[in-house]
Structure 1
Amino acid sequence: MCQPKDQGGLGFKDLVKFNEAMLAKQFWRLLHDQSSLFFRVFKAKYFPHGTVFEAKKSSSSYAWQSILKARSVIKVGSMWRVGDGSTIRVYWDKWLPRNFPSKISSPQKSALGDVRVASLIDQDKKQWDYAKIGHLFLPFEAAKIKSIPICITNQADCIIWPRYRDGLYSVKIGYQLLCELNTQNRASGFAYKMQFTSEESARGSDVPKLRNKVRCNEPSMPLGKILKSTASLLREFQSHTRLGVNTSTQRDIKWKPPEGVMVKTNFDRAIFVESDQAGIGVVVRNNKGQVMAALVEKIPKPASTEILEVLAARRAVQFIHELGFTLSIFEGDAKTIIKALAEGNCLIPSIGHIIKDIEFISGLLRTKSFYHVKRQGNTVAHALVLRAMLSFPVLIWMEDVPPNIYRFVSVNFPIS
């Protein structure tokens, strides 16, 4: 009865699992709502000298024993977000940005049993110690670590829920996790589903056709070629879709100059799938449309597009501060990030620490504001970010842009 309808059940909730998911919500509150009376009472009684993860079962109340039982749900589905790295144990905690949270699998050095992530960070430069990471970890894990953004300001490490876009745990997602963990194919089913959802959805429509042809002894496409065929059809569809776009609407959206002595800073980002890297582009222009400065930077590809978008915003604010400008409007085409920056929303667990960095740096400016602009009004920054794929880690131009970018400046806003 509790099986989903598409699996032959009636779709009723499994009350045992649902109750455990709700208890896990209380455990999540103990992790994040540490100013509440609920936290202060339970900490004083059950874990006065440690964290809630370190609390031990004892002859305590039934409510506390029930909450501790749900601790395993949070342990399985959560991961650490790196702040200053002082809390996270390198080899024992889950902090790598993968589709399914995981611990370090590289062989452990004998003298580094309880070492913290802070020891891998160059605290003066606020960046990873690349030499140490390359020495201690396998290449694929070293690349993952280097892609994690480091805070510019001092911030504590934080536990987030990576399966939710906002990084927060919910009863619904906890219940889904418990149901998935309860299946017979626990290891292959849950982890495989997390890592290969996009691949399965891409070829899902072709599999039934293939099965029917095999059953009827008809010629069929090899299974290994289905994904390539589907990708080809998708590209063909997208090319025809782009041809049908109303270009007159796109031409009406242009970059607008700032007023008075302010400058306008546009930023954009792109992911380079082939090299597993990402790029950031920033351009600064005055009220006459003249380019004051431009920047392109290549960085390791972050765990999500959302993190890359907010990193591009942080680099734009840093760039303005480095140039000495104090009055700036910032424009980007990532609507969700711009909204979070305009509202000063630092509560989003997955990117809140980077937004705090942006708030700190932008607070050093006399005037700043963040606005969303459509891609057609952000063409110069977009053209710059594509150049990052062929550039050194950082390139800066003062009162100029690369020759192949100037046409975007002229078309976007003709300079007299």
Structure 2
Amino acid sequence: MNAKLLKPYSEEEVCVALFQMHPSKALGPDGHFLQNKRWGRKGSFALKLDLSKAYDRVEWNFLEAMMLRLGFDSRLVAVMMMCVKSVSYSFLVNGEECGFVVPSHDLRQVSCLVRRSWKSVQRFNIFWICSAKHQDPKSLTARLFKAKYHPHSSFWDASVPSSSSYCWSSILKARIVLEKGSRWLIGDGASVYVWKDRWVPKPSTFHPITQPPPSRENMLVQELIDKERRMLCDTKLSAYFEEKDREHIRALPISNSLPPDKLVWHYTDRGQFTVKSAYEVAWDYVKPPSLSASSSALGGNPFTPLWKAIWQAGVPPKVAVELVTAAQHCRPRDGLTGDGEGVAEDWVWLNVDGATNLQNKVGGAGVVLRDRQGHFFAAAASFLPTMTSALQAEMLANKRAVEVTHQLGFQKVLVRSDSSQAISIIHTCVDRVLAMDFLAEDVLDIAKAFIASKFIFISRNNNSIAHCLAKVALYVETSIVWVEEPPSVIQDLLIHDIL
């Protein structure tokens, strides 16, 4: 037998042996073929036996010793061992090669390592899959998925067929994350159902807690909007909702232009999906109970257990370092700044500020108009009801400021605010991805009436007069405008303030 096995073999003989292998006997499972077979008269079936072969557990040294003991020639044994021992493996984790494994027995050892590595990074990868789906529905990827998996339904109602690709199955596993973090931004209210959709700015459900009245289950949000006055109808809010719901709904800003409703990501300032914010939203959904308990016990940074989980995940050190570094070095973008350089003498300098009393859910807008030398033209203090954030007050204050300036007939305006976030939104509101963009659009629509306008960020130290008027507005519960003669509350500030 050894003599036959040790005979020289040609390349042609190797090719003949390989091509005698039937296609259905190729390495790997045949289940995918069976799941996708939809036609033909000749059927197939698979029989899977739960057997553990002896070879699955044999180490190379034992295999070599047994072959020699059974009488195989040492030259043949050497060739066989060269084949099984020459295999090595590395792994791609998020596109980067890492690890180098030389197995001491069969492929089950490598399979175990792969499963352990995958489970360690699976929770991180799921958010990248979320990110891939939470993009333009007109993209090629989104259209391909829709054509194949949900041609007659929305993404939110799509199912997972048995023949689904791994990518589609993973996206739907991550859909719960998108559902938890997305809500509707109300424009005209024509696309959003009051009782079925997520639109109330109240994490984490975004649904009204009030039960729908009989026969009104399919009511749209547009029925709650007074289109003539461009505001929510308080009579209908009182008729349909409990007080807790009314507080949140009244805080919704209604744009003058009534744009279409839009689905946005609630947990970022710009309403756009990010992997970092998705991880924060999903942490309670995927984290082990032990991490939840340790986070509460720490009473401080909830991400401390996350750092520990990353280091203890068993992923290669390079991957762990990249994950921790990326999470720790995220920084918000800087606001826009400016000092009015290049503005001519005939421009009016318009300082604006917003103030809030969030305990009472009210705000105030302060406005002061002067020339470049600081001479007083006019001022305003306006009460802002139903405020939920400082940013909302700042945006409404900017809107009130350009309204007053336009009513007074000024044509060239330099708007100066100490809210870098508000100025940034006004400069970048073309995407209209959150409620503040709608307010910014209102500001810019009013500003179109000016011959020229410019919006810049200034420090709080250079905005003390507008800040004082905003504080006054919190208590007046109306809107007051002073022309030519400043109110006494700001007279001393006008003397000492420098533009």
Please tell me the TM-score bracket, short chain as reference: 0.7 to 0.9
Counterparts in 2 of 1:168-317, with a 5 A limit?
A: 168-183=272-287, 259-317=344-402
Q: 2:485 aligns with which of 400, 405, 410?
A: 400
Letter in 2 for 1:357: D
AA paired with 2:362? Q
Question: In the alignment, which residue of structure 1 is the partner of 2:196?
Answer: 92
Residue matched to 1:149: 253
2:455 to 353, 370, 375: 370
Matched, 1:105 2:209: yes
2:142 is the alignment partner of 1:36: no
Over residues 165-193 of structure 1, what are the superposed CA-to-partner deviations in whole Å (9 max), with x where a residue is unaligned? 3322222332343332135779xx79x98
Q: Given the two structures, how large is their TM-score scaled by the length of structure 1?
A: 0.72
Please tell me whether the aligned partners of residues 80 and 157 of structure 1 are also in contact (alpha carbons under 8 angstroms). Answer: yes
Q: In the alignment, what sits opposite 1:326?
A: 411
In 1, Cα distance between the equivalents of 2:188 and 2:461?
38
Shift of 1:57: 4.3
Greater mean deviation of Cα atoms: 177-186 or 109-118: 177-186
Partner of 1:213: none
CA distance in 2, matches of 1:343, 1:162: 18
Does the 8 Å CA contact 1:286/1:292 hold for their aligned counterparts?
yes
Query: Structure 2 residue aligned with 1:357, among 417, 421, 442?
Result: 442
2:130 counterpart of 1:24: yes
Distance 1:59 1:277 in 2: 54
- Secondary structure of the residue aligned to 1:164 is coil
Are 1:52 and 2:158 matched, yes or no?
no
- 2:173 aligns to what? 69
* In 1, Cα distance between equivalents of 2:375 and 2:400: 21
Amino acid at match of 2:403: Q
* Helix, strand or coil at the partner of 2:366: strand
- Residue deviations 1:32-81 (CA, integer Å, cap 9, x gap): x1342223333444445554224344466423343233222111122222
Structure scoring higher RCO (CA < 8 A, sep ≥ 6) equals 1
- Segments of 5+ residues of structure 1 without an aligned counterpart are 1-10, 203-253
Q: Structure 1 residues 407, 50: CA separation in 2 closer, same or farther (over 3 Å shift)?
A: farther
Distance 1:48 1:298, change over 3 A: farther
Report the secondary structure of 2:187's partner residue.
Answer: coil
Q: Does the CA-based 8 Å contact 1:257-1:287 persist in structure 2?
A: no
Once the two structures are TM-superposed, the CA of residue 15 in structure 1 deviates from its matched residue by 2.9
Partner of 2:121: 15
1:284–1:292: 8 Å Cα contact kept in structure 2?
yes
Shift of 1:302: 3.4
- Could you tell me how far 1:358 is from its partner in structure 2? 2.4
Select the structure of larger CA radius of gyration.
2
Residue equivalent to 1:243: none
What is the CA RMSD across the aligned residues, in angstroms?
3.3
Distance 1:348 1:400, change over 3 A: farther
Q: Comparing 69-78 with 309-318, which one deviates more in the overlay? A: 309-318
User: Are the counterparts in 2 of residues 290 and 399 from structure 1 also a CA contact under 8 Å?
Assistant: no
Mark the runs of 5 or more structure 2 residues left unpaired by the alignment.
1-116, 302-338
Q: Which amino acid aligns with 1:52?
A: F
Q: Is the CA contact 1:120–1:128 (under 8 Å) kept in the aligned structure 2?
A: yes
Matched, 1:124 2:209: no
1:62-101: CA deviations, max 9, x gaps? 2334323322211112222222211221112222223434
Shift of 1:270: 0.9
CA contact (8 A) 1:258 1:264 kept: no
For the residue of structure 2 that corresponds to 1:407, the secondary structure is: helix
